[in-house]
Chains A and B, each alone.
Chain A
Amino acid sequence: MPQLFGNKRLIFLLVSIVILVMLIGFSLRSREELTWPEQFVKDTVGFVQLLFGKPAQQVAGFFENVSDLRRTYKENELLKARLEEYAALETEVEALRQENERLRALLDKKESLRDFVSIQATVIGRNPDRWRETIIINKGEQHGVKKDMAVITPAGLVGKVQHASQFTSTVQLLSALDQNNRISAYIQGKENVFGLIEGYDEKRRELLLGEIPIDAKVEKRQKVLTSGLGGVFPKGLPIGEVTEIKPDQYGLTKVVYVKPFANLYDIDDVMIVKRTIDAALQEKEEAK
């Protein structure tokens, strides 16, 4: 039996294991920014992915369209029914918006945590090994994307920007949320109840909203929205709907299960959301 590793090679192997451990340690530190070689590599690979990705997605899109066609009739019926409700809702929203603007003008309060501008982006890749659900999108710092910004689809919140390179960025999906990346949210009701999105229950496919006072009144089917407190999220992005309320393991706070509005897996196009109040504050600071 020939020897698998020579003496020199064995030493080389051990040295590389030591380097490996050091590198893992380095990458595990919560980093504000990626080093520039990493950013460069990400952007380059992102570009190649875009080249190969476009045709592949078009082919896949064709098959999706075919299967969509088969359900069109049923969906059309449903949508017609919804359209009438929508018209009524729209006039109401418009009236409320005007009133809001008028009241704001009275108060001389121009910016709100709610206002945001969005940046359109397309998914160009995914982490294939899926130990951590992340997607790669085709907009980066050059387009105004920054770390920790909210990422939404028309249905609701799907994740936050984990790292931004110059031309691409990595988005951490809500399904991969960990203790270090909590999102401040509130449950909409007569009295708003504030909490933190702390994690994801993989079995139920629902988000965990924790840190809710034990005496707070929470009911099923109430809506959960981002609170805009802390971080750079705007206020009022829809997250999901309450499905179950439980006391936590010590009985001091409540844990609420939230079913997300957006599909956290099937994501093609996203919007990165940038709070306008931050930009206004920045300008003021620069003016000083």
Chain B
Amino acid sequence: MNKWRLPFLAVLCFVSESLFVDVWPKGDLYVHYFFVPRFFLVFLVFTAMHFGGTRAMGYGFIFGFLYDCVYTELLGVYAFAYTLIAYLAGKAMKWFHQNWFVASLLSLLSIVLLDSYIYGIQLLIGRTDWPFSVFWDRRLWPTLLLNVAFLLVFSYPLERRLAKIHRFEQEE
């Protein structure tokens, strides 16, 4: 039973991204600005903090690949990025003091990293012709804003939840 707690949380974060976009009211705000939920990435960084980089890399690879298959149909892009970010987050956690605030800041940093990288790839394969300033205004800022809001509400519960799961697993 306890073995399935972490995967369940991962699936929840993964699916909620798509649901969030689906349920979000489709007004002018939606059309002009791109609020991209990066809930799974937040989960990934927090997991790297509690369970170490190796385990987070496993999750990053599997769910990154799912993301590629299901949503973007551009194989390997998210799988690579999620794995790399999980690795870096795992490394970074060794240098910093482990608490939810540091993890939140690191999540925001990795969101900037991930979104810039995806923007680079889209530019490279010619699916977008946005200059960087447009990307900055219409995508990066709204995305960061949305995820800051998410972190404000959920970072502490998420942190507690993961700590609890970690404790359960150690007891076994």
Contacts and interface: CB of A to CB of B under 8 A. Distances in A.
Interface of A: 2, 4, 13, 16-17, 19-20, 23-24, 26-28, 34, 38, 41-42, 45-46, 48-49, 52-53, 56-57, 60, 123, 125-132, 134, 136, 162-163, 170, 178, 205, 263, 265-266
Nearest to B18: A125
B15 A19 contact: no
Contacts of A49: 15, 18-19
Given A16-B80, A130-B34, A131-B128, A57 B71 contact: no
A287 B100 CA distance: 68
Given A129-B36, A129-B118, A130-B34, A26 B22 contact: no
Given A49-B19, A52-B15, A56-B19, A127 B69 contact: no
A23 B30 contact: no
A136 B31 CA distance: 19
B22 A134 contact: no
Given A127-B71, A131-B72, A178-B127, 18 more contacts: A20-B77, A23-B76, A24-B74, A24-B121, A27-B68, A27-B73, A27-B75, A45-B66, A48-B15, A52-B15, A125-B19, A128-B36, A129-B71, A130-B34, A132-B127, A136-B70, A205-B31, A265-B26
B130 to A, nearest CB: 10
A130 B30 CA distance: 11
Interface string B120-139: 01100101100000000000
Nearest to B65: A41
A13 B91 CA distance: 15
Contacts of A130: 21, 34, 36
A41 B77 contact: no
A162 B70 CA distance: 12
Contacts of A27: 68, 73-76
B17 interface: yes
5 closest cross-chain pairs (CB), A and B: A23-B76, A266-B26, A125-B18, A128-B17, A265-B26
Given A49-B15, A132-B72, A265 B127 contact: no
Contact of A128 (B21, B80, B88): B21
Contacts of B11: 48
A4 B26 CA distance: 43
A62 B65 CA distance: 34
B18 A26 contact: no
Nearest to A202: B31
Interface string B8-40: 000110011111111100100011001011000
Contacts of B83: 16
Contact of A265 (B31, B68, B122): B31
A265 B75 contact: no
Interface string B44-85: 000000000000000000000110111111111100100110
A263 B69 contact: no
A178 to B, nearest CB: 8
B80 A20 contact: yes
A20 B61 CA distance: 12
A128 B66 CA distance: 13
Nearest to B16: A52
Nearest to A64: B25
B70 A41 contact: yes
B88 to A, nearest CB: 8
Contacts of B66: 41, 45
A43 to B, nearest CB: 10
A23 B127 CA distance: 17
B22 A129 contact: no
